[in-house]
Amino acid sequence: MGNLIRSKRFWLIAPAVLYIGFFMAVPLGQMAYVSILERGDYGAVNWGVFSFDAYASFLFERDLMDNLMFNTDYLQIFARSFGLSAMTMVFALVLGFPTAFYISMQPQARRNFLIFLVTIPFWTNILVRNYAWMLLLRNGGLIDNGLAWLGYESGGLDILYTPYAVSIGLTYTYLPFMVLPIYASLEKLDHRLIEAAFDLGADKWRAMTRVILPLAAPGIAAGCILVFIPCLGAYVTPELLGGGKFMMIANLIGSQFGAARNWPFGAALGFVLLAFVLLSMMIYAMKFKSLPEEKL
């Protein structure tokens, strides 16, 4: 310990680590603690009074006679979140893999530029990106007018504020996270292996499915996690493109701190979401020996 305090390295690293520890690790621990507390009468929480109500209320609600009733409302929101995230992951993979492959086939200077193009939207405001899709998708918007111009009935698109719109927006938002790790693994790929496959009589389909895809597997897995996980926690897209009608987990959590005012329940949901995220990261790290983040 004395050595530690004297070492210069400790004092260099300490501010950042202590800051994150105090303003993030401690709050996360406290959130787990709040999730097992009793809900206060006027919102907030009864500190020090323990209760598992928050976890029970995920599946059961009390009716007027104080009987526990099975309630699938929240389960439906979780199912919708997982379904939309899985769908988004598949869309992102179908679009992202060919794009990553295409980029990896370009000359070096062009590759860097294309990768830069892929990352730019990530740095722009998420509200603005989703708002842009509202302009495109709404009735009387650009796509609707385009269809009308092609001879379809105008005003008949009716896609904004549906799960389809949410899915389009989610795919748009998280697409770069699919391309970057796949590109990173394709870039390292030894092309002699593919040539060898051709020499041994493989056609393109076989070279792709038997050589390229298996070699890109760690990148594909990382991309899938990096799309699926943030998708599960998406707040803005369901709020704007779903019009608040198609809640996902994050919106349910948020509403517990707004009108619903059930902090322990919100904390419990947050804790479940966090546990799920950390668990998938750990499984990935054990399988591929590094965190997906390091691939970016």
Partner 1 sequence: MKIDTSNPLWRFRGITPMAMFFFAYLYLPILVLIVLSFNENRLATIWTGFSTDWYRVALSNDDMLRAAKNSLVIAVSATVIATTAATLAALGMARQRFRGETGVAAMLVLPLLVPEIVTAIATLLFFVAIGVQLGLISVIAAHTVFCIPFAYLPIRARLDGMDPALAEAANDLYANEWQAFRRVTFPLLWPGIMSGAMLSFIISLDDFVISYFVGGAGATTLPIYIFGMIRMGITPEVNAVSALMLIISIVFVSISFLIDRIRY
According to CB under 8 A, which one of 164, 236, 261, 288 is a site residue for partner 1? 236
CA distance linking residue 274 with residue 267, whole number of Å = 10
* Binding mask of the shown chain, residues 249 to 288, with x at each position contacting partner 1 by CB under 8 A: xx--xx-xx-----x--xx--x--xx--xx--x-------
- Provide the 3-class DSSP secondary structure of residue 197: helix
In the bound state with partner 1, the residue whose beta carbon lies nearer, of 76 and 209, is: 209
In the bound state with partner 1, the residue whose beta carbon lies nearer, of 137 and 218, is: 137
According to CB under 8 A, which one of 74, 164, 235, 288 is a site residue for partner 1? 235
Size of the site for partner 1 (CB under 8 A): 89
136 binds partner 1 (CB under 8 A): yes
25 binds partner 1 (CB under 8 A): yes
30 binds partner 1 (CB under 8 A): yes
Q: The tokens 């709040």 sit on which residue?
A: 34
Taking the complex as a whole, the smallest distance from the CB of residue 17 to partner 1 amounts, in Å, to 5
In the bound state with partner 1, the residue whose beta carbon lies nearer, of 64 and 128, is: 128
In the bound state with partner 1, the residue whose beta carbon lies nearer, of 136 and 217, is: 136
Taking the complex as a whole, the smallest distance from the CB of residue 162 to partner 1 amounts, in Å, to 17
CA distance linking residue 279 with residue 24, whole number of Å = 18
According to CB under 8 A, which one of 55, 58, 74, 101 is a site residue for partner 1? 101
Cα separation values, 83 from 7, 77, 155, Å:
50, 10, 28
According to CB under 8 A, which one of 49, 79, 204, 279 is a site residue for partner 1? 204
Residues 54 to 83 in contact with partner 1, rule: CB under 8 A: none
Q: Which amino acid is at 25?
A: A
Taking the complex as a whole, the smallest distance from the CB of residue 202 to partner 1 amounts, in Å, to 11
Residues 3 to 22 in contact with partner 1, rule: CB under 8 A: 8-13, 15-17, 19-21
116 binds partner 1 (CB under 8 A): yes
CA distance linking residue 270 with residue 58, whole number of Å = 12
Beta strands in 148-210 (DSSP E): none
Q: CA angle, 233 as apex, 218 and 284 as ends, to 5°?
A: 20
Cα separation values, 170 from 94, 135, 179, Å:
14, 16, 15
CA distance linking residue 285 with residue 291, whole number of Å = 5
Q: What are phi and psi of 114, to 5 degrees?
A: -65, -40
According to CB under 8 A, which one of 147, 148, 208, 217 is a site residue for partner 1? 208
102 binds partner 1 (CB under 8 A): yes
Residues 144 to 163 in contact with partner 1, rule: CB under 8 A: 145
Q: The tokens 């493989």 sit on which residue?
A: 202
Residues 168 to 187 in contact with partner 1, rule: CB under 8 A: 172, 175, 179
In the bound state with partner 1, the residue whose beta carbon lies nearer, of 68 and 135, is: 135
Element housing 129 (H / E) = helix 126-137
User: Tokens in use for 281?
Assistant: 């990261």
- Provide the 3-class DSSP secondary structure of residue 37: strand
Element housing 61 (H / E) = strand 60-62
